[in-house]
A and B are shown apart, each in its own frame.
Chain A
Amino acid sequence: MTALLSVQSVSKRFRGLLAVDQVSVDVPEGAIFAVIGPNGAGKTTLFNLIAGAMAPSDGAIAFAGTRIDGMTADAVCRRGLARTFQLVRPFPALSVEDNVVVGALLHRRDVGAARDHAQSLLRRLDLFDKRGQPASTLTLPDRKRLEVARALATGPRLLLLDEVMAGLRPTETDRMVATLQTLNRETGLTIVLIEHVMRAVMALASRVLVLDHGTAIAEGAPDAVVRDPAVVQSYLGQSQFETGMA
């Protein structure tokens, strides 16, 4: 079986800094795949390369059998690969609902149909009651949910989530985990997430990639990866390992 997303020895250089160094990864269709690593490891840069926000300096990225490296972000999204931003970027003056309607209009001509679809997504992400207020008035956790709703509205086959759990309370994290699991199970949506909240990673991911200083230092099932000595040393830290993942 070929992978839905295939990243092959991709590098990104910012002048002297090698932010991503020959990273390769295959994500099969229907998987939930996590990317973890310390701050500055190159996780978000890797996302930006996949999502078309920037072109890789080297290497190839294929999505659903087509090369997408070097494509613009909007072209990548139209092919079914949607993303959220770590530093959230809602359309501030638009209502919560209209934010999602924009996404839903990508593959719909009719505004009414897009609105219906947006409302069903807002219900799923617990934002339905706030649909009328401007996005600028939302709290950070709500904005993160709005990012997910807007990305989902574009009807992706693969969803890139950049730290959507950060700042959420444990109960909210569990809700988000449940929502993503349901989406994955019901629609077969493939999810790749960058996440620091290990509680979410362990609950969600079927496979984990660990980045450090731009290179992949480990890849495998979550249980195995968190016991990998290199991962423990570079990212998780001894105490966290001993207390069994906070």
Chain B
Amino acid sequence: MIARLSGGLSARALALLVMLGIVLLFAPLFANDYLLTVLILILYFAYVGQAWNIMMGFAGQLSLGHALYVGLGAYVAAFLFTRYGVAPWLGLLAAIPVAVAGSAVIGFLAFRFGVAGVYFAILTIAFAEFARIGFDHLDIVNASAGLFLPVAQYAHNDLWRLRGDPAMFYYVILAATVVAFVLSRLLLTSRIGYFWRAIREDEVAARAAGIDTFRYKMYAVMVSAAVTAFAGVFYAFYYNNLFPEQVFNISRSIEIILGPIIGGIGTLFGPILGAFVLTGLAEALNDTMLHFGFDLPGAKQVFYGICLLIVVLALPNGIWPWLARRLGIAEGAQ
């Protein structure tokens, strides 16, 4: 297991990984509350970017509606918690199947009826919009008035019920990001990962090589939705409020995919690097501007746009493949 995880990584890459791990592990000891909040945001996008990357980066199926799975995961766990006091880790056991079922419906409709490429992407947007409008009128979760979780007691950390201070949330999302990374690597280097990449590269040729493309595309959307659902649970318990208009909004779906695009679609480190670059720089920019007395709402979006423009023009494969070459480390399976 360990050998399979570290296999293909150069000593240099391993050293870098260990160093990064140590810095992240001890960050809460040095970081102030603001920096910790930014780190949580970065790791959240690193996590959910990896989840999206499984579907698009590995299997080539473009989803522009991943807010759907975040929202479903968030609502299911938050509803079970507020209504029945079910702990989020148990709620996850319901949140994941609900998100997976949603993805299976979209996948089945698309792949059975030959909806592909741009049309598939539009279908994913459509379902996220259905959910946004539907939840806006769903009284059982307070419709557009929003669902609120009891505000955290900071006296002590309750990991089981995810009530606690930012440092606890930091470690939860850090662990989740590591788990997502390990899972991505295992998937990419296994049989299913090869089949996914074959489908991504040329679906007709993949079928001619005997791959049941319908089945493996279904696996891709379902695994991606399952991983994304946890991000929703985290979101609900970290922010303590849920509004359909916000959670299912298309801008949430777009935010999820910016990190992987900038970091490098289909690579293992790309989504993580993209999250650090994008969220890290955007927050730094915001902070600097506030420091000098500028309060410009929307500056972050403009900044995202500029980042995207630069990367698409200069490094169309993303920053990570370029950086990996500069550092002299080749990513194992890519």
Taking beta carbons and an 8 Å cutoff, which residues of A are in contact with B?
51, 53, 72-75, 77-78, 82-83, 85, 89-94, 98, 101-103, 105-106, 109, 111, 114, 150-151, 153-154
Contacts and interface: CB of A to CB of B under 8 A. Distances in A.
Contacts of B195: 102, 105
Given A89-B204, A109-B191, A111-B191, A94 B210 contact: no
18 contacts: A51-B208, A73-B204, A77-B208, A77-B209, A82-B208, A89-B205, A90-B205, A91-B198, A94-B198, A98-B197, A102-B195, A103-B209, A103-B210, A105-B194, A114-B191, A150-B209, A154-B209, A154-B210
Across the A-B interface, the 3 shortest Cβ-Cβ residue pairs: A77-B210, A91-B201, A89-B205
B189, B202, B210: most-surrounded residue (chain A CB, <10 A)? B210
B189 A111 contact: yes
A105 B209 CA distance: 9
Secondary structure at the A interface, as helix, strand, loop or mixed, is helix
Contact of A73 (B191, B198, B202, B208): B208
B190 interface: yes
A78 B198 contact: no
A102 B208 contact: no
Contacts of A74: 206-213
B194 A89 contact: no
Contact of A92 (B189, B191, B201): B201
Contacts of A105: 191, 194-195
Contacts of B201: 91-94
B191 A89 contact: no
Nearest to A92: B201
Contacts of B206: 74, 91, 102
B207 A106 contact: no
Given A94-B201, A102-B194, A85 B189 contact: no
B208 A83 contact: yes
B207 A72 contact: yes
Given A102-B195, A105-B194, A111-B194, A91 B210 contact: no
A114 B206 CA distance: 16
A122 to B, nearest CB: 16
Contact of A98 (B191, B194, B211): B194
